[in-house]
Amino acid sequence: MMQILNITNLSMLIGTLTYATIDALLFFCICVNVFLFRGGMLGKLWSVIGSGLLILVICDLLVTYGIATGWYYEMHPIEFLGITGGSTVALGLARERMPAAAQGTRSPNQTQCPISERALRE
């Protein structure tokens, strides 16, 4: 019994519980934001980034659970889930920075300036 309550095991337990609690809170916040930004201009973009973040949080929770229970090892196949989540977030961020012509839509920043139109007419 005293072996379980030594300071390193207690600190590892507190660290693991804190880490899992923060991950669960992040999971909740991402779910709320995905539902808030369902429609509109940012809807598709946020759904891609949010789904990537959700995959990362789920992978992180699974790794934490695996370490706590002892079935996780380095280079476990579950790490591919983390790579998928990170790639999805990168895809969403790359799409956000992509020019509107490549996306097939016209962004509000690409409207023509009325001053230059007036100068062309004169």
CA separation, residue 75 to residues 79, 80, 86 (Å): 7, 9, 16
> Domain boundaries in the chain?
7-121
- Predicted confidence (pLDDT) at residue 4 exceeds the cutoff of 60: no
For 55, the 3-state DSSP assignment is helix
- pLDDT value, residue 1: 39
Q: Which of left, alpha, beta for 107 (phi over 0: left; psi -120 to 50: alpha)? A: beta
pLDDT digits (tens, 9 = 90+) for 36-91: 877 766 788 888 888 899 999 999 988 888 887 888 888 889 999 999 999 999 99
